[in-house]
């Protein structure tokens, strides 16, 4: 098959972390995704919980080696000239499964072909090939410029730290512990006074508890402005740790809005409105506070949705009183308070 020319680019992406109801957790991963013809390549494959080899938390030497490998400056890591395009977000074990492809040179161009799901050193394209995906032929200059930029200090970086500001120290301590468990650094403070600018520039978001006043928030914002950094702010919806984790995950998402899979969440009148840009698994979790301020959670939907807008009925008990809905895909999180 003749490879058709396609555009090649890179964009920040994430695998969303999560604190699970059973006490388990899912680790947060930041990575650089491949954008082919203006759309993340990951979305063109089946709905996968996977990351590219260009992750922000791998050692710099390994990150550089991954980039040079994609530039064909090193031998392919797998037989038959195959390269890992997406792998397990929790480990580098091929046994967990990976999306691989052959990368070739064609004159000055680069060709990605024979995409497959691979679980050992050899692959059966008839059985496990991604038929209908590729081959893609990328202009050499565009391809090299995009990947080489990662070697020139434009890599994914890491600002997976959050400054937590609030009055309820016990809640903040639980939230900080949950964030650290999934791989997000967290520091607790009453304000940002006296924090060196270099430290402020290391935060990817600042989260305010419901008890933090307007003047205190303004002072924190001013401190970040003086440090020359603009960070997303999280207004804590309720003292529910998994809900706050979801809000912070959304704030840390640096992927371009137009390239996200989950783009809309509305919660009102006992329904959730969800919009996705490609077929994927979507999970909806409802959180609520009862009259004694006790937190409750309910999994209200878990299923595959096709691209488009969807209306999902919610269990009336799950969204009784002060309640909130969290929508999740593998790489996106949205949070909304239930409107009445």
Tell me the per-residue pLDDT of 107-151, one tens digit each, with 9 for 90 and over. Answer: 999 999 999 999 988 898 989 999 889 899 999 999 999 999 998
Percent of the chain with pLDDT over 70: 97
Pairwise CA distance, residues 27 & 19, whole Å? 9
CA 163 to chain centre: 19
Tell me the pLDDT tens digit for each residue of 160-174. Answer: 799 999 888 899 999
Task: Report the pLDDT value the prediction gives residue 9, as an integer from 0 to 100.
Answer: 95
DSSP reduced 3-state for 145: helix
Residue 119 φ then ψ, to 5° = -125, -5
State the chain's mean pLDDT as an integer: 91
What is the pLDDT, as a whole number, of residue 193?
81
Q: Number of H helices and number of E strands within the chain?
A: 8, 21
Residue 23: per-residue pLDDT = 74
Instruction: Read off the pLDDT of residues 289-338 as tens digits, 9 standing for 90 and up.
Output: 998 889 999 999 999 999 999 999 999 989 988 999 999 999 999 999 99
Predicted pLDDT of residue 158: 58
Closest CA to 77 of 53, 58, 49: 53
The label of the residue with tokens 């949705």 reads 305
Any residues with CB less than 8 A from the CB of 225 and at least 6 apart, and which?
Answer: none
DSSP 135: -
Q: Looking at the predicted structure, is the pLDDT value of residue 195 above 90? A: no
């Amino acid at each position: 098959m003749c490879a058709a020319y396609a555009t090649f680019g890179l964009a920040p992406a994430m695998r969303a972390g999560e604190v699970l109801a059973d006490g388990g957790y899912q680790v947060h991963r930041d990575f650089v995704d491949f954008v082919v013809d203006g759309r993340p390549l990951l979305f063109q494959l089946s709905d996968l919980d996977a990351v590219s080899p260009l992750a922000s938390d791998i050692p710099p030497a390994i990150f550089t080696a991954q980039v040079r490998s994609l530039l064909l400056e090193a031998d392919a890591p797998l037989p038959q000239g195959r390269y890992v395009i997406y792998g397990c977000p929790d480990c580098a074990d091929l046994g967990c499964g990976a999306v691989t492809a052959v990368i070739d040179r064609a004159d000055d161009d680069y060709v990605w072909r024979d995409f497959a799901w691979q679980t050992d050193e050899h692959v059966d394209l008839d059985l496990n090939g991604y038929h209908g995906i590729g081959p893609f032929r990328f202009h050499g200059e565009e391809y090299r410029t995009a990947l080489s930029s990662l070697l020139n200090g434009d890599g994914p970086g890491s600002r997976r730290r959050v400054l937590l500001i609030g009055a309820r120290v016990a809640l903040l301590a639980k939230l900080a512990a949950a964030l650290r468990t999934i791989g997000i650094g967290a520091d607790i403070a009453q304000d940002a006074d006296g924090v060196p600018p270099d430290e402020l520039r290391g935060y990817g978001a600042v989260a305010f508890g419901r008890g933090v006043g307007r003047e205190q928030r303004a002072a924190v914002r001013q401190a970040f402005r003086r440090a020359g950094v603009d960070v997303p702010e999280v207004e804590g919806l309720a003292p529910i740790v998994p809900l706050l984790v979801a809000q912070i995950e959304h704030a840390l998402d640096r992927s371009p809005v137009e390239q996200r899979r989950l783009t809309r969440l509305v919660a009102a009148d006992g329904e959730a409105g969800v919009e996705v840009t490609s077929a994927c698994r979507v999970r909806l979790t409802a959180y609520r506070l009862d009259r004694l301020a006790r937190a409750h959670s309910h999994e209200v939907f878990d299923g595959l949705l096709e691209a488009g807008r969807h209306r999902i009925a919610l269990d009336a008990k799950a969204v009784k009183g002060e309640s909130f809905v969290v929508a999740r895909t593998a790489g996106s999180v949205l949070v909304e308070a239930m409107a009445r």
